[in-house]
Amino acid sequence: MGVGDFLRKMFSPPNAVPPDGPRLSGASESALGSSLQGLPAGERGWITLAEAARLFSSERSDYAFGEMDDAGKLRLAHFSTQNRCSPQFMPTEGRVYFTRNT
C-alpha cells in the first residue's frame, strides 16, 4: 500500500463507496433496475445482502437464497434476466454485486 492509498483510507468517510463499484439503490426492484441501467455494459455495482433478501426473498435474511429458498433464487434470476445483469453473492462482504451484461 502506497502513501496515497494509506492517506485515502485514513481520511475517507466510513461509508465511502469502495473502488470496486458504485452502490446501487436497493429501495425497490424498480429503483434497483433503474440504477442498473445507469451502469455501463460490463460494469458492476452492489447492494447489501439484507436489501437483496428484502427485495427477492420471503425467508429471513439468514436463510435468504439458501438451499430451501428456491422462490427467492427464482425471483432474483427473473429480475436479472429482465434487467440484463448477472448477480454474484459475496457473503463475507455482505453484498450482492450485479454486473450489467452487454
Q: What was the pLDDT predicted at 17?
A: 47
What is the model's pTM? Answer: 0.78
CA 14 to the chain's CA centroid: 18
Residue 31: which pLDDT band, with cuts at 50, 70 and 90?
very high
pLDDT, average across residues 26-32: 97
pLDDT, average across residues 74-98: 96
In Å, what is the CA distance from 97 to each residue of 38, 45, 46, 63, 89?
15, 6, 4, 18, 6
Residue 19: which pLDDT band, with cuts at 50, 70 and 90?
low
Residue that wins the pLDDT comparison between 7 and 56:
56
